[in-house]
A and B are shown apart, each in its own frame.
Chain A
Amino acid sequence: DSGVTQTPKHLITATGQRVTLRCSPRSGDLSVYWYQQSLDQGLQFLIQYYNGEERAKGNILERFSAQQFPDLHSELNLSSLELGDSALYFCASSSRAENSPLHFGNGTRLTVT
Chain B
Amino acid sequence: GENVEQHPSTLSVQEGDSAVIKCTYSDSASNYFPWYKQELGKRPQLIIDIRSNVGEKKDQRIAVTLNKTAKHFSLHITETQPEDSAVYFCAASIDWGLSFGAGTTVTVRA
Contacts and interface: CB of A to CB of B under 8 A. Distances in A.
B14 interface: no
Interface string A94-113: 10000111111111000000
A69 B18 CA distance: 46
Given A2-B43, A43-B100, A101-B98, 5 more contacts: A42-B89, A42-B101, A42-B102, A48-B97, A100-B32
Contacts of A31: 97
Interface residues of B, number: 21
Given A42-B100, A48-B97, A99 B45 contact: no
Contacts of B89: 42-43
Looking at chain B's contact residues, is the secondary structure mostly helix, strand, loop, or mixed?
A: strand
A103 B89 CA distance: 14
Interface string B27-49: 00001101010000111111001
Contacts, number: 46
Nearest to A90: B43
Nearest to B46: A101
A45 B44 CA distance: 14
Looking at chain A's contact residues, is the secondary structure mostly helix, strand, loop, or mixed?
A: strand
B96 A56 contact: yes
A42 B42 CA distance: 13
A52 to B, nearest CB: 15
A2 B44 CA distance: 10
Interface in B28-83: 31-32, 34, 36, 41-46, 49, 51
Contacts of A56: 96-97
Contact of B97 (A42, A88, A102, A106): A102
A10 B57 CA distance: 38
Contacts of B32: 99-100
